[in-house]
Structure 1
Amino acid sequence: MRVLIVLLACLTASAHATRPFQAQITCPVGGEQFTANLIGSSHYFSRGLDLRPIGGGPAPWPLPQCLTNGLVLYKDKFSERELEKLQVLVPSADYQALRVPHTQYYLAAWLQRHLDESPALIASTLLQATWQANAQQYSSYALAALEQYKLVLRQAELSPKARLRDSLVAGELERRLARYDDAQTRFSKLKQELPPDAPELLVIDLQLKLIAERNSAPHAIPAQKKPSSATPGAAQPLRDGVAPVQPTPPPGLAG
């Protein structure tokens, strides 16, 4: 299946109402019980070039976060080894200092780094942190995400489909950061490598046009007819480390 099919899975879907729900959660660090307001499902009209869902609900979906210590629960269960680390990390001055100036997904990425999660998962989380970022946060978040995607792209075992997908995201981050020369080099190379009928060329040609205009503003993925095999509105889990797109709730938390 073409990479663009993954990027455009939601593009022609009708918008469905966002389904919020509440979940009773026990914080794995400290044992605090709290009620989290979460999203059970949501469909979108389209996605941005950075894969941010457009229309239909919040993006990214909120994650459960312990009220007192601020632990962001980016997955439903931590291993015993991870819990031992979290007992030290969460109350630390470093983590607590991040709570006010930074978003949930940035905090989640910080935790993921310290828990030795996969580079792909950290890249995905940082990308979604850019969706939450305000004007002051965006550049630092996008730069952190870009560096993580570069790390992922250096992995020899990365599949061709994943390499193309992550290269498109990295190029988008470079353009948004006004690193136009880097972005142009990346997209020009991708264009040379792809066959002339590759659907990803829709994205690449738009990117090259925006780069020539020195345009660093967000833009939507160009519309394309949905292949019959695509599932409208399909969303991938945050923690799967594969598709850096809108997450589903952790198992056991869906209403």
Structure 2
Amino acid sequence: MKASAARWTATIVLALAVAWPGAAGATTYVTETFTCPIGGEKFKARSVVSNITFGQRPDGKPYSPLPVYPIPECPSNGLLLFEKDFGEDELAVLAAAIATDEYRAMHDRETPRYRAWWLMTRLKRPALERAYMLFQAPWESDDDWDRKVRYMAAFVNEVAALERTEDEADAWFWITLRAANSLRELGHFEKAAAMIERATAPGNLPGDPEAAEGARTYVEALAALVAERNPLSEPASLVPARFAAVRCTVPRPALTPSEERACARPEVAEAVAEFKTRDDEGRKLTGEAAIRFLDQRRRAHD
């Protein structure tokens, strides 16, 4: 069911990318030549010049033609260049790490960001940096629910060990809320509620008034989903209107109360009306008909 939902999301992302003005060709690349700092191998890889996003999911993954940027990887030894430069002592640590059987076995089993996080732990990178790398690893695993669960659990554990400091207070606040969302998606609703409470303790909200207001909006929606025991990765109440339009039109499973309220917003009705695609004969479909057609196509291929 989870893998099916991921394929459904991919279908909708493509449809919305086509429908959105200016979206076509929005992701551009340049080919760069890299030199592997271990072994000296030269290789070419693409770097992103421009991209476009259409908002994000509750877990922070952007709706985009390229939601996760590639990390250059040395072809021969698998070293991921997740930083521009490494010191000599760091390269010695990395050389030993990538030579292990454990790391080599990861190549076909784990995603780049998870492997980068693993290497960062060997370098003893700051905990918050490691958490942000691991935060993105589940985005690379929408097609593998078991792996995604493993990554979300590891992310939650990493965040649970973080200490709040004044210098990184806002970053700590947001990463802690993202961990609360991971707990919600994992179905650990009581732990999710406790994590929200930890993040929003007095004095923890961002100091900037606009950021604080955005935080309150996110927290209110997330807390409602937790109270409703809603584990969906794309609930109607915490995705952009164009994506909520899909969930509101074909609500499987049934909408929870906070989602029903979100579906009643005028901007969602407008998004449904603006939805466009073409059927198998090339005929233009709009509104609910377009969404239901894509839903039927998705179910036919499951």
Provide the TM-score with structure 2 as the length reference: 0.63
Higher mean C-alpha displacement, 89-98 vs 160-169: 160-169
Work out the CA distance in 2 between the residues paired with 1:157 and 1:100.
40
Q: Does 1:27 align with 2:36?
A: yes
Q: Does 1:202 align with 2:217?
A: yes
Superposed CA offset, 1:27-81 (max 9, x none): 11111111112322212110111111112x2221010001111111101111111
Q: Say if 2:56 and 2:239, in contact at 8 Å, map to a contact too.
A: no
Q: How does 1:211-222 map to 2 (within 5 A)?
A: 211-219=226-234, 221=238
Aligned residue in 1 for 2:190: 181
Q: What's the CA shift for 1:187?
A: 2.7
Q: Does 1:150 align with 2:160?
A: yes
Q: 2:129 aligns with which of 121, 131, 146?
A: 121
Q: Say if 1:52 and 1:59, in contact at 8 Å, map to a contact too.
A: yes
Higher mean C-alpha displacement, 158-167 vs 135-144: 158-167
Q: Does 1:170 align with 2:185?
A: no
Pick the structure with greater CA Rg: 2
Q: Say if 1:126 and 1:141, in contact at 8 Å, map to a contact too.
A: yes
Question: Residue 157 of structure 2 aligns to which amino acid in structure 1?
Answer: E
Q: Say if 1:202 and 1:222, in contact at 8 Å, map to a contact too.
A: no
Q: Does 1:58 align with 2:66?
A: yes
Aligned residue in 2 for 1:45: 54
Q: What's the CA shift for 1:190?
A: 5.2
Work out the CA distance in 1 between the residues paired with 2:139 and 2:147.
10
Higher mean C-alpha displacement, 129-138 vs 103-112: 129-138
Work out the CA distance in 1 between the residues paired with 2:164 and 2:196.
19
Q: What's the CA shift for 1:198?
A: 3.1
Provide the TM-score with structure 1 as the length reference: 0.74
Q: What's the CA shift for 1:141?
A: 0.4
Superposed CA offset, 1:182-239 (max 9, x none): 11233356567469x8332221221122223322121374569xxxxxxxxxxxxxxx
Q: Say if 2:128 and 2:172, in contact at 8 Å, map to a contact too.
A: no
Superposed CA offset, 1:123-158 (max 9, x none): 011111110012121111011111111222x24445
Q: 2:84 aligns with which of 76, 83, 101?
A: 76
Work out the CA distance in 2 between the residues paired with 1:43 and 1:179.
33
Structure 2 stretches of 5 or more lacking a match?
1-21, 207-211, 242-302
Q: Say if 1:27 and 1:33, in contact at 8 Å, map to a contact too.
A: yes
Q: What's the CA shift for 1:164?
A: 2.2
Indicate how the Cα distance of structure 1 residues 83 and 178 shifts in structure 2: closer, same or farther if over 3 A, else same. Answer: same
Indicate how the Cα distance of structure 1 residues 70 and 157 shifts in structure 2: closer, same or farther if over 3 A, else same. Answer: same
Work out the CA distance in 2 between the residues paired with 1:34 and 1:189.
46
Question: Residue 21 of structure 1 aligns to which amino acid in structure 2?
Answer: V
Q: Say if 2:55 and 2:239, in contact at 8 Å, map to a contact too.
A: no
Q: Say if 1:191 and 1:201, in contact at 8 Å, map to a contact too.
A: no
Q: 1:136 aligns with which of 135, 138, 146?
A: 146
Question: Residue 233 of structure 2 aligns to which amino acid in structure 1?
Answer: P
Q: 1:93 aligns with which of 92, 95, 101?
A: 101
Q: What is the percentage of aligned positions where both structures have the same residue? A: 27
- SS state of the match for residue 213, structure 2? coil
Work out the CA distance in 1 between the residues paired with 2:105 and 2:119.
13
- SS state of the match for residue 198, structure 1? helix
Query: How many residues of Structure 1 are paired with residues of Structure 2 in the alignment?
Result: 210
Aligned residue in 1 for 2:265: none
Root-mean-square deviation (CA, aligned residues, Å) is: 2.6
Q: Write 1 or 2 for the structure with the bigger share of helix.
A: 2
- SS state of the match for residue 47, structure 2? strand
